[in-house]
Amino acid sequence: MTTITLSWGDRPIVLETEGDRTFLRLGAALRVEVTDASLDQLDQLAEVAADLAEHQRDRYRAANVPNEVAAEDGHRFVGVPIQRGPVAA
């Protein structure tokens, strides 16, 4: 199996059609054909995307905790910026 790593940031995620074929475009560099995807596969994709969004929300909340605690104590927290990298799912 080949693994492709792609970082697309806030680039668009859209559906594209060409004739009778349908594609999911992730940013400018990746297009996945979903023409023959079953409803179960598409439902699973939606669940994974929702899980990913919740995971990212948790990361953002965790990053803000030191700032919130410092603000409650009347101090300003100056920390190290988060370095985004691979995350085990």
% of the chain beyond a pLDDT of 90: 38
Q: Which value, in Å, is the radius of gyration of the alpha carbons in the chain?
A: 19
Q: Which domain holds residue 49?
A: 13-72
In a domain, 29, yes or no: yes
Q: What is the 3-state secondary structure (H, E, C) of 14-79?
A: EEEEECCEEEEEECCCEEEECCCCCHHHHHHHHHHHHHHHHHHHHHHHHHHHHHHHHHHCCCCCCC
In a domain, 87, yes or no: no
pLDDT of residue 42: 93
Rounded Cα gap, residues 31 and 36, in angstroms: 14
- pTM for this entry: 0.59
For the segment 32-55, what is each residue's pLDDT rounded down to a tens digit? 999 999 999 999 999 999 999 999
Rounded Cα gap, residues 25 and 15, in angstroms: 6
For the chain, how many structural domains are there in total? 1
Greater model confidence, 77 or 73: 73
% of the chain beyond a pLDDT of 70: 72
- Residue 40's identity, in one-letter code, is D
In a domain, 82, yes or no: no
pLDDT of residue 27: 85
Return the biggest CA–CA distance within the chain.
Answer: 61
Q: Is the pLDDT of residue 77 over 80?
A: no
